[in-house]
Amino acid sequence: MVETLDLKTRSGLTFTIDSAGPAGGDLVLLLHGFPESRHSWQAALPALAQAGYRAIAPDQRGYSPGARPDPADLANYAFDKLIGDAIDIADASGAAGRRFHLVGHDWGGQVAWGVAGRHPDRLASLTILSRPHPSSFRRALLKEDGDQKHRSRHHRKFLEPQTGPMLLEDGARRLRRNLASQGVPDAAIEEHLGVLGHPDALEAALAWYRSNKGLAADIGVIRVPTLYVWGDADATVGPDAAHGTREFVSAAYAMEVLPGVGHFVMDQAAARATDLMLQHFKRHPI
């Protein structure tokens, strides 16, 4: 059974989380992307619990009402803070000082790369959906004859102060349209907007982009066993950035390309992605 509860961390922030599985099970921490929420993982949680894992999916900093420092101060949403939240949530979930499995999609994937780069000793495995390694992503962005600049053009728009109100106009028409056009079902869109469809929450979510312009985190080579899952119909991440990720992982590495699947993998191929996660965890136990 999936439970929703508030989890207070040592930082004083309180995160809304969905959890499933035995309290003593090995921890799997799942980090959502933008513009989604903890509900991204609702299909995965029961399967992870059935396999004996303790699965935790939080609404991250700014998305959780109890973990929403002022987005006008962009220092509150610096990359180091986002990485620290992941460690704090894992510790507060029963894995203090212990290794755990980390999964991230989109911006949650960016944070997960950061955790793996800076705290490799804490991770048994890393699973990334969609988001390439930051160095591969940056290289693709700078490629003169590449198309990643065009795919990522929305990042610049998110820096503008009028973007939040615009995205929420007409019942969040633009957000709904953008998610629906990339295969996110209507029911899932409603769940995400239940978290993100408020001005305070959306401004905090956009502060992730504004505080971390260019997503150019200096993470280095990853020394954690890594599974990278990418859909070849991803409108946001192109093949240069995706396939280049291999060069920045020195540990065991597997890339799974999902034919016909777009950016929002858990909305289009949840069963396949969850099965790949479980296989990866089994290959790299805690």
The continuous run of DSSP H or E covering 90 comes out as helix 79-90
| Of residues 50, 46, 40, 188, the one with CA closest to residue 103 | 40
- In this prediction, residue 230 carries a pLDDT of 98
pLDDT tens column, 185-195: 999 999 999 99
Q: How confident is the model at residue 4 (pLDDT cuts 50, 70, 90)?
A: very high
- Comparing 10-19, 140-149, 162-171, 258-267, the range with the smallest average pLDDT is 140-149
| Of residues 58, 41, 39, 32, the one with CA closest to residue 191 | 39
- In this prediction, residue 152 carries a pLDDT of 59
Boundaries of every domain in the chain: 3-283
Residue 213 in contact with residue 71, Cβ under 8 Å? no
Residue 147 has pLDDT above 80, yes or no: no
Query: Which residues fall within 8 angstroms of residue 136, CB to CB, at 6 or more apart?
Result: 240, 241, 242, 244, 245, 247, 248
Residue 151 has pLDDT above 90, yes or no: no
- Average predicted confidence (pLDDT) for the chain: 93
Helices 79-90 and 107-118 cross at an angle (nearest 10°) of 80
Q: Return the bridge partners of 165, or none.
A: none
Distance of alpha carbon 62 from its chain centroid, rounded?
Answer: 14
- Phi first, then psi, for residue 28 (nearest 5°) are -120, 115
Residue 150 has pLDDT above 90, yes or no: no
pTM of the entire predicted model: 0.95
Q: What is the CATH number of domain 3-283?
A: 3.40.50.1820
Burial of 24 (0-12, 13-18, 19+ CB in 10 A): exposed
Mean pLDDT confidence for 265-272: 98
Give the position of tokens 């993998």.
265
pLDDT tens column, 37-76: 999 999 999 999 999 999 999 999 999 999 999 999 999 9
E strands in the chain: 3-8, 14-20, 27-31, 54-58, 100-105, 123-129, 226-231, 253-258
Is the pLDDT higher at 109 or at 147? 109
- In this prediction, residue 72 carries a pLDDT of 94
